Amino acid sequence: MSQACAAKPLGWEARLGLRFERAGGRTVLADRRHSGPLVVQKALYPEGDAVCHAVIVHPPGGIAGGDRLEIEAALDPGAHALITTPGATRWYRTSGPEAAQTVKLRVAAGATLEWLPQETIFFEGCRARYRIEFDVEPGGRLLAWEFACLGRVRTSERFASGEAFQSLSLKTGGRVHWTERGRIVAGNSALGSSVGLGGHSVFGTLLASAPGLDAGLAAACREPRPALGEGAVTLLPYALVARFLGPSAESARDYFSALWRILRPALLRLEGTEPRIWRT
C-alpha cells in the first residue's frame, strides 16, 4: 500500500459557510461556500422577502465514524434567517474513530437568527462529539433549539453502548454568559438517576436572547406543558432557557414549537408559522 493511501483519512470532511445580509427589504444569502457533502440548495421565502429560510442538507443521510463536519453562519445587521434541516441528524454506530460536528453562528446587532433543526439521534454504538456556539451582539435576536434522542425510540433501540459529548454555549456582548456540556456514556448510572436523565431517552434546550424578554413573557412560556415528559422555563438576565426531558422526540418538538409560537410574535413581531419541511 502506498504512503498516500495509508494516510487517507477515514470518513467525510465537510464544511459549510453562510453569510446573510439585508438588501433593501430583502434578506439574501450573500455568500455560500461548501466543501464535501454539506449544502444549502436554495434560499426560500415562504414568509416574504424579509425572512430567508435555509435548509441545510447532508446528502449521506447521517454522520459516521471519522466524519468531520463544520457549519458556520454569519448574519449581517438587519438580516433575518431561519435555518433548519429536512430531517433528523443521525449519528451512526462505529467501531472505529469518533465523529464530530461543530456549528458556529454569529448574529450582528439588528440581525435575527432562528436556528431550528430537527432532532439529533445518537444511535446505539455511536461515538459523537457535537459542539454549537451562538455569538449574539447587543441588539441581535436569537431563537434556537436543540433536542436529542438516545437510540431510536420508534424501533425500541436503546442506547446500550456508545458515547456522546454535547456542548452548547451562548455568547452575548463578547462574553460567554451560558454554557452546558454533557458527556453521555451508555451504562452510566447518571442516565437513570433523578439528577441525570431520569431514565428518559430524549432531552433538549430552547434558547431565546433578544430585547423584550421579561417576566411576563417567561410566565406565558410556562403555561404550555409537554404531552409526554417534563418541561421547565427559566428567565436569566441575558436569555430565556427552556428545557425538555421525556420519552418522545415528537413531544419535545411540539413543546418547543408551542414556546416558539409564543416567543416569535412577542420578540420578532411575526406569526409562528412552521416551515413546511417539518411536515414532509
pLDDT (tens digit per residue) in 34-67: 999 999 988 999 999 999 999 999 988 899 999 9
Least confident of 45-49, 78-82, 172-176, 233-237: 172-176
pLDDT of 163 over the 50 cut? yes
What sign does the dihedral 92-166-148-276 (CA atoms) show?
negative
pLDDT tens-digit profile of 221-234? 999 999 999 999 99
pLDDT tens-digit profile of 125-155? 999 999 999 999 999 999 999 999 998 866 6
Query: For the chain, what are the domain ranges?
Result: 14-279
| Residue listed under C-alpha cell 417539518 | 278
Say if residues 222 and 188 touch (Cβ distance below 8 Å): no
At residue 27's C-alpha, the angle toward residues 23 and 32, to 5°, is 100
Q: Is 35 helix (H, G, I), strand (E, B) or coil?
A: strand
pLDDT tens-digit profile of 94-133? 988 999 999 999 999 999 999 999 999 999 999 999 999 9
What's the rounded Cα separation, in Å, for the pair 236 and 227? Answer: 26
For the chain, what is the mean pLDDT?
91
**How distant is the alpha carbon of residue 36 from its chain centre?**
21
**Mean of the pLDDT values across residues 11-18?**
94
Greatest distance between any 2 Cα atoms in the chain: 67
**What pLDDT was estimated at residue 189?**
75
What's the rounded Cα separation, in Å, for the pair 195 and 260? Answer: 27
| Residue listed under C-alpha cell 428545557 | 243
What is the value of pTM for the model shown? 0.93
